[in-house]
């Protein structure tokens, strides 16, 4: 059979390193790549050129004493290209997705490419001097910031908080999460990229997360990648400063003060969570870029799997430490989710169904409804459920 790689396959520098530069070979449009060290780059490019739709794969895999590369070398690279989704005449392997997407359930996707085409001017907030100036303003506004003050506001307002106020908070939290992702999109737009989709998914079927799909982000120079991945946290810092300023004008003990305080807590939680490199968050991608080491999380998972199956592996102690710490965080999140769900259900059983119980259960309902709809659509064949794509 004659196979052909995707039409837009190109090569970009990923990292400059003393141990040897790393490049990526792949498709900017499809956002699929292979990581290739500099000493193997020319060989990979030569072999890739053989998959032009004119050479039969069976002939290429035959060992020819006059050939520059063995059949095994060509076959191994072909498998890597296919697994990365870079062979358009072959079925895309499930391995083309990252470890996170392989173990995620896509709830829904929202196309955003057209929306971001209208916000070119807004992307100017990610000019270096604008960011520096705004952070200095934030530092001034937050000079009297106090966690004790936040806690005091929440305690004093607790007696007057109603169910609708809790709903307002959750709506605000969702808005903050979307603004966080929009910040990534604006920074990417500033760097010449076009975000394609806003995705909402469940990692390991119980950890909800939102992420913006930005094709071509790995083709950017490292400094610009750092800008895109830090943009969401930057906007959360701005929101903390703005909400803290508003809080100073809210009378103590009022619902408005409580909502402002909770939204500040929400922003701080998002900042802390995203700075942690133990999940596939902004902090993970920032750390990976700063260490000039790609695919830390995926490699840790794959090498652990090989180690558990007693196969040849490179499950070194840094990967083992990362895998153990990441697994611990996931276990804690699972226990907290079970505890929260049990408490919400127990409240309904003991006190009956009410508006308050609906508020307690709504995060679980928000997750279950898309899953049920996907199942119905799949059974009746009307709409295929979303597939996780890299």
Do 296 and 316 contact (CB within 8 A), yes or no? Answer: no
Q: How far is residue 260's CA from residue 256's CA, in Å, rounded to a whole number?
A: 6
pLDDT of residue 253: 77
Do 174 and 267 contact (CB within 8 A), yes or no? Answer: no
Prediction pTM value:
0.86
Two tokens, residue 192: 């010449």
The residues spanned by each domain of the chain are 2-96, 101-294
Do 366 and 372 contact (CB within 8 A), yes or no? Answer: no
Do 145 and 268 contact (CB within 8 A), yes or no? Answer: no
Q: Which residues of the chain have pLDDT under 50?
A: 382-390
pLDDT of residue 336: 87
Q: How far is residue 368's CA from residue 146's CA, in Å, rounded to a whole number?
A: 38
Backbone φ and ψ for 81, nearest 5 degrees, come out as: -65, -40
**DSSP, residue by residue, 208-248:** EEEEEE-TTGGGS-HHHHHHHHHHHHHHHHHHHHHHHHHHH
Locate tokens 């709409």: which residue?
A: 383
Task: Map residue 19 onto helix, strand or coil.
Answer: coil
Backbone φ and ψ for 207, nearest 5 degrees, come out as: -105, 105
What does the radius of gyration of the chain's CA atoms come to, in whole angstroms?
24
pLDDT of residue 205: 77
Two tokens, residue 281: 């968050």
> Residue 108 forms beta bridges with which residues?
200
What b/e sequence results for 309-348 when a residue is b if at least 16 CB atoms lie within 10 Å of its CB, and e otherwise? eeeeeebeeebeebbeebeeebeeeeeeeeeeeeebeebe
């Amino acid at each position: 059979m004659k196979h052909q790689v995707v039409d837009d396959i190109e090569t970009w520098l990923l990292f400059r390193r003393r141990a040897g530069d790393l490049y990526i070979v792949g498709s900017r449009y499809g956002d699929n790549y292979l990581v290739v060290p500099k000493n193997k780059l020319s060989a990979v490019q030569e072999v890739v050129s053989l998959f032009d739709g004119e050479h039969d794969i069976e002939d290429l895999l035959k060992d020819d004493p006059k050939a520059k590369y063995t059949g095994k070398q060509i076959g191994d690279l072909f498998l890597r290209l296919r697994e990365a989704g870079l062979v358009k005449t072959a079925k895309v392997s499930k391995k083309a997705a990252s470890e996170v997407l392989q173990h995620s359930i896509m709830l829904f996707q929202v196309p955003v490419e057209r929306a971001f085409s209208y916000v070119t001017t807004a992307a100017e907030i990610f000019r270096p001097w604008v960011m520096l100036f705004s952070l200095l303003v934030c530092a001034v506004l937050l000079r009297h910031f106090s966690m004790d003050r936040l806690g005091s506001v929440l305690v004093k307002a607790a007696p007057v908080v109603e169910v609708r106020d809790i709903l307002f908070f959750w709506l605000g939290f969702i808005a903050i999460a979307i603004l966080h992702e929009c910040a990534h999109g604006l920074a990417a737009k500033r760097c010449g990229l076009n975000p394609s989709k806003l995705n909402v998914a469940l990692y390991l079927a119980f950890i909800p997360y939102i992420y913006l799909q930005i094709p071509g982000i790995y083709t950017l120079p490292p400094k610009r990648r750092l800008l895109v991945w830090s943009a969401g946290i930057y906007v959360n810092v701005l929101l903390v400063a703005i909400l803290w300023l508003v809080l100073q004008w809210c009378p103590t003990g009022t619902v408005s003060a409580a909502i402002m305080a909770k939204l500040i807590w929400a922003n701080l939680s998002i900042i802390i969570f995203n700075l942690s490199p133990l999940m596939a968050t902004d902090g993970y991608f920032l750390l990976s870029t700063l260490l000039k080491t790609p695919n830390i999380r995926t490699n840790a998972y794959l090498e652990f799997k090989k180690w558990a199956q007693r196969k040849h592996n490179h499950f070194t102690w840094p990967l083992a430490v990362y895998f153990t710490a990441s697994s611990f965080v996931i276990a804690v999140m699972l226990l907290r989710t079970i505890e929260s769900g049990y408490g919400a259900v127990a409240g309904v059983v003991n006190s009956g169904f009410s508006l308050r119980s609906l508020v307690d259960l709504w995060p679980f309902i928000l997750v279950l409804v898309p899953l049920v709809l996907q199942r119905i659509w799949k059974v009746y064949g009307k709409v295929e459920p979303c597939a996780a794509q890299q």
